[in-house]
Protein backbone atom coordinates (compact mmCIF):
# COMPACT_ATOMS: atom_id res chain seq x y z
CA UNK A 1 0.00 0.00 0.00
CA UNK A 2 1.59 3.32 -0.97
CA UNK A 3 2.16 5.80 1.81
CA UNK A 4 0.99 9.15 0.48
CA UNK A 5 2.17 12.37 2.14
CA UNK A 6 -0.17 13.42 4.92
CA UNK A 7 -0.94 16.30 7.19
CA UNK A 8 -1.16 15.92 10.94
CA UNK A 9 -4.95 16.06 10.88
CA UNK A 10 -5.29 12.97 8.71
CA UNK A 11 -3.06 10.38 10.44
CA UNK A 12 -6.27 8.61 11.40
CA UNK A 13 -7.17 8.46 7.69
CA UNK A 14 -3.80 6.78 7.04
CA UNK A 15 -4.60 4.23 9.76
CA UNK A 16 -8.03 3.61 8.17
CA UNK A 17 -6.45 2.94 4.76
CA UNK A 18 -4.06 0.37 6.22
CA UNK A 19 -6.78 -1.18 8.40
CA UNK A 20 -9.04 -1.66 5.39
CA UNK A 21 -6.83 -4.34 3.82
CA UNK A 22 -4.79 -6.46 6.25
CA UNK A 23 -4.14 -8.97 3.43
CA UNK A 24 -1.93 -6.32 1.76
CA UNK A 25 0.29 -5.86 4.81
CA UNK A 26 3.95 -6.71 4.13
CA UNK A 27 4.07 -8.69 7.39
CA UNK A 28 1.51 -11.38 8.19
CA UNK A 29 -0.62 -10.70 11.25
CA UNK A 30 0.05 -13.00 14.17
CA UNK A 31 -0.86 -13.37 17.80
CA UNK A 32 1.78 -14.06 20.46
CA UNK A 33 0.51 -15.79 23.61
CA UNK A 34 3.41 -14.37 25.66
CA UNK A 35 3.30 -10.67 24.79
CA UNK A 36 1.60 -8.17 22.56
CA UNK A 37 2.79 -8.58 18.94
CA UNK A 38 3.73 -5.59 16.76
CA UNK A 39 5.33 -5.00 13.37
CA UNK A 40 6.15 -1.92 11.35
CA UNK A 41 4.17 -1.95 8.10
CA UNK A 42 5.57 1.17 6.42
CA UNK A 43 7.72 4.23 6.95
CA UNK A 44 8.59 7.32 4.95
CA UNK A 45 9.86 10.82 5.70
CA UNK A 46 6.41 11.83 6.92
CA UNK A 47 5.16 9.01 9.16
CA UNK A 48 5.38 5.34 10.10
CA UNK A 49 2.64 2.71 10.35
CA UNK A 50 2.52 -0.20 12.81
CA UNK A 51 0.16 -3.17 13.24
CA UNK A 52 -0.43 -4.56 16.73
CA UNK A 53 -2.29 -7.62 17.93
CA UNK A 54 -3.67 -8.03 21.43
CA UNK A 55 -4.82 -11.25 23.03
CA UNK A 56 -7.17 -10.94 26.02
CA UNK A 57 -5.28 -9.42 28.95
CA UNK A 58 -2.41 -7.98 26.88
CA UNK A 59 -1.67 -4.28 27.07
CA UNK A 60 0.89 -1.53 27.36
CA UNK A 61 2.39 0.29 30.29
CA UNK A 62 1.47 3.91 30.89
CA UNK A 63 3.53 5.67 28.19
CA UNK A 64 3.97 8.58 25.79
CA UNK A 65 5.35 8.57 22.24
CA UNK A 66 8.54 10.55 22.73
CA UNK A 67 7.25 13.73 21.11
CA UNK A 68 5.53 12.06 18.15
CA UNK A 69 1.89 12.76 17.43
CA UNK A 70 -0.27 10.07 15.92
CA UNK A 71 -3.46 8.10 15.63
CA UNK A 72 -4.65 4.55 16.08
CA UNK A 73 -7.60 2.58 14.81
CA UNK A 74 -9.08 -0.65 16.15
CA UNK A 75 -9.33 -3.08 13.22
CA UNK A 76 -11.05 -5.88 15.16
CA UNK A 77 -12.03 -6.58 18.74
CA UNK A 78 -12.30 -3.99 21.50
CA UNK A 79 -9.50 -2.07 23.23
CA UNK A 80 -9.62 0.08 26.34
CA UNK A 81 -7.56 3.26 26.31
CA UNK A 82 -6.95 4.94 29.64
CA UNK A 83 -5.77 8.55 29.79
CA UNK A 84 -4.74 10.62 32.79
CA UNK A 85 -7.30 13.19 33.90
CA UNK A 86 -7.56 14.78 37.32
CA UNK A 87 -4.74 12.60 38.61
CA UNK A 88 -6.57 9.36 37.70
CA UNK A 89 -6.76 6.99 34.77
CA UNK A 90 -10.03 7.38 32.85
CA UNK A 91 -11.07 4.48 30.57
CA UNK A 92 -12.48 4.83 27.03
CA UNK A 93 -13.71 1.81 25.09
CA UNK A 94 -12.75 1.62 21.42
CA UNK A 95 -14.59 -1.01 19.37
CA UNK A 96 -13.69 -2.16 15.85
CA UNK A 97 -13.77 0.81 13.49
CA UNK A 98 -13.13 3.32 16.29
CA UNK A 99 -9.98 5.36 16.42
CA UNK A 100 -8.40 8.40 17.88
CA UNK A 101 -5.85 11.06 17.07
CA UNK A 102 -3.41 12.28 19.70
CA UNK A 103 -0.86 15.03 20.13
CA UNK A 104 2.81 15.02 21.06
CA UNK A 105 2.17 15.02 24.82
CA UNK A 106 -0.41 12.23 24.93
CA UNK A 107 0.07 9.69 27.74
CA UNK A 108 -2.04 6.53 27.85
CA UNK A 109 -2.42 2.83 28.58
CA UNK A 110 -4.03 0.54 25.99
CA UNK A 111 -5.33 -2.90 26.99
CA UNK A 112 -7.47 -5.71 25.64
CA UNK A 113 -9.84 -6.31 28.57
CA UNK A 114 -12.25 -8.42 26.54
CA UNK A 115 -12.58 -12.11 25.68
CA UNK A 116 -11.73 -11.84 21.98
CA UNK A 117 -8.39 -10.95 20.32
CA UNK A 118 -7.99 -7.41 18.99
CA UNK A 119 -5.96 -5.84 16.16
CA UNK A 120 -5.06 -2.18 15.74
CA UNK A 121 -3.12 0.05 13.33
CA UNK A 122 -1.00 2.94 14.70
CA UNK A 123 0.51 5.86 12.77
CA UNK A 124 3.17 8.19 14.20
CA UNK A 125 4.74 11.41 13.01
CA UNK A 126 7.66 11.69 13.23
CA UNK A 127 8.69 8.05 13.50
CA UNK A 128 9.03 6.80 17.08
CA UNK A 129 12.54 7.29 18.42
CA UNK A 130 11.76 6.92 22.11
CA UNK A 131 8.87 6.29 24.45
CA UNK A 132 8.73 7.25 28.10
CA UNK A 133 7.03 4.87 30.50
CA UNK A 134 5.39 6.34 33.58
CA UNK A 135 3.82 5.34 36.84
CA UNK A 136 0.99 7.23 38.44
CA UNK A 137 1.64 7.95 42.13
CA UNK A 138 -0.63 10.13 44.25
CA UNK A 139 -2.13 11.63 41.12
CA UNK A 140 1.22 12.55 39.56
CA UNK A 141 3.02 11.08 36.56
CA UNK A 142 6.51 9.87 37.46
CA UNK A 143 9.03 8.71 34.85
CA UNK A 144 9.77 5.00 35.21
CA UNK A 145 11.88 4.42 32.08
CA UNK A 146 12.83 5.92 28.73
CA UNK A 147 12.88 3.28 25.99
CA UNK A 148 14.85 3.88 22.79
CA UNK A 149 14.03 2.65 19.26
CA UNK A 150 16.41 -0.08 18.12
CA UNK A 151 16.95 -1.16 21.70
CA UNK A 152 13.52 -1.68 23.29
CA UNK A 153 11.63 -2.40 20.04
User: What is the rounded distance in angstroms from the CA atom of residue 72 to the CA atom of residue 65?
Assistant: 12
CA distances from 104 to 92, 112, 116, 122 (A): 19, 24, 31, 14
Does residue 98 sit within a domain?
yes
Does residue 95 sit within a domain?
yes
pLDDT of residue 151: 87
Does residue 153 sit within a domain?
no
Does residue 137 sit within a domain?
yes
Residue 17 is part of which domain span?
Answer: 8-148
Does residue 43 sit within a domain?
yes
CA angle 9, 49, 133 (to 5 degrees): 90
46 pLDDT above the threshold of 80: yes
> Is the previous residue joined to 68 through a cis bond, with omega within 30 degrees of 0?
no
3 pLDDT above the threshold of 70: no
> pLDDT digits over 82-118, tens only?
999 999 999 999 999 999 999 999 999 999 999 999 9
pLDDT of residue 21: 95
pLDDT of residue 121: 98
Please state, rounded to an integer, the average pLDDT across all residues of the chain: 93
Does residue 2 sit within a domain?
no
What is the number of domains present in the chain?
A: 1
> pLDDT digits over 52-86, tens only?
999 999 999 999 999 999 999 999 999 999 999 99
pLDDT bin (cut points 50, 70, 90) of residue 150 is confident
The 10 Å Cβ neighbour count of residue 79 is 24
CATH code at 118?
A: 2.60.120.10
Does residue 57 sit within a domain?
yes
Does residue 86 sit within a domain?
yes
- Of 113 and 5, the one with more pLDDT: 113
8 pLDDT above the threshold of 60: no
The 10 Å Cβ neighbour count of residue 33 is 7
Amino acid sequence: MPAAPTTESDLLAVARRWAADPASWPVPLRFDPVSRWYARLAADDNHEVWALSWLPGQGTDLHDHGGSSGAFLVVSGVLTEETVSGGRLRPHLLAAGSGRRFGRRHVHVVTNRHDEPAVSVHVYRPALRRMTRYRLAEGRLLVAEVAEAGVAW
